[in-house]
Structure 1
Amino acid sequence: MNVIGDLKRAIDTFYYNIILSLAELHWSLMRGLILMGHTIETINQWLIEQAFAPLIQQTNASLNVAVSFAFIIALLILG
């Protein structure tokens, strides 16, 4: 019976299991953060394309006359 060898093997197995558990925990956290970042980026792109671009175009079209009128008044006042 090799008691010292068995004890070393048990300690090595214990260390290995601790390191494996830490690696699994780290991977799970990183995977969650990556997926969360990807989801936020996807929602951001959707908002840019579907909400803000049409809103900016509509605002630009509706304020075109008002801005032109204000520009003409500013030119008349400033000379």
Structure 2
Amino acid sequence: MIVSEKMKSVLVHYNQGLTLYKSRKFVEAKEEFKKALAIHPEDGPCKLYIERCDDYIADPPPEDWDGVYNMKTK
């Protein structure tokens, strides 16, 4: 499978965002996911992580957070 340069850029921003997210740096993570979306607007995982970042920016997870996102609605 050949990956385009465009998709490589998306993956770089996504992976940086995920690393920041797991480090509880939600504002910075959101910016990386937004950069990926600017390149590939249909990217579902980036959209999802932006929503989760927004949730955690508004209401941070507990100190013992293990990285798992608990859905608030069904």
Same fold (TM over 0.5): no
TM-score norm. by structure 2 comes to 0.28
Asked which structure has the greater RCO (Cα within 8 Å, sep 6+), the reply is: 2
TM-score norm. by structure 1 comes to 0.27
Whose helix fraction is larger, Structure 1's or Structure 2's? 1
